Amino acid sequence: MTDPTRTDAPGFTSTAGLNRARAARHQTTGMDKAAIIVLADTETHADLGRLVNALSTADEFKEHGDEVTIIFDGAGVRWAAELSNPEHRLHERFEGLRDRIAGACHYCAGAFEVREELEQIGFPLLRDHKGHPSLRSLVHDGYEVITF
């Protein structure tokens, strides 16, 4: 039996190995690629904190000229609806990242009862894989997936 704590164990990817892969991609493309997935609900102060961290992370990638895309998924689709409201205190920050927002999960928008609202404002709804956004395609395209 293989010792799972060994860094040379089959299936183990070391941090150093990941860093080498990132460095190779950065050297090839000149930029990093990140997909920010907002899963946090809108109900608690902690949820708001996760959203703010997601927006801050997206800002940082954008400021450095990296490729970054934002997807609202799960309960996070509620944020897409809330932040689209010009009265929301984070609306301006949200609009500053609008060019990096891919959209919200079509299925989850229905499940969390915001689909009609998002459709009315023309917010993109993603349904690449069985009604959901395809995270696999993002990974395949070289994006690091970061969830909040």
Q: d(Cα 117, Cα 82) in Å, to the nearest integer?
A: 10
Is residue 81 within 8 A of residue 118, CB to CB? The reply is: yes
Residue 4 lies in a domain: no
Residue 128 lies in a domain: yes
Domain containing 47: what range? 31-147
Residue 14 lies in a domain: no
Is residue 66 within 8 A of residue 32, CB to CB? The reply is: yes
Is residue 77 within 8 A of residue 42, CB to CB? The reply is: no
Residue 21 lies in a domain: no
- The single residue listed with the structure tokens 């009604």 is 131
Predicted local distance difference test score (pLDDT) of residue 89: 96
Q: d(Cα 138, Cα 70) in Å, to the nearest integer?
A: 11
Residue 64 lies in a domain: yes
State residue 125 phi and psi, 5-degree precision: -110, 125
Counted domains in the chain: 1
Q: How many CB atoms lie within 10 A of CB 10?
A: 6
Q: pLDDT of the chain along its 148 residues, tens only?
A: 444 444 444 444 444 444 444 555 555 555 699 999 999 999 999 999 999 999 999 999 999 999 999 999 999 999 999 999 999 999 999 999 999 999 999 999 999 999 999 999 999 999 999 999 999 999 999 999 999 9
| CATH number of the domain where residue 143 is located | 3.40.1260.10
Residue 74 lies in a domain: yes
Residue 18 lies in a domain: no
Q: d(Cα 66, Cα 119) in Å, to the nearest integer?
A: 29
Predicted local distance difference test score (pLDDT) of residue 24: 52
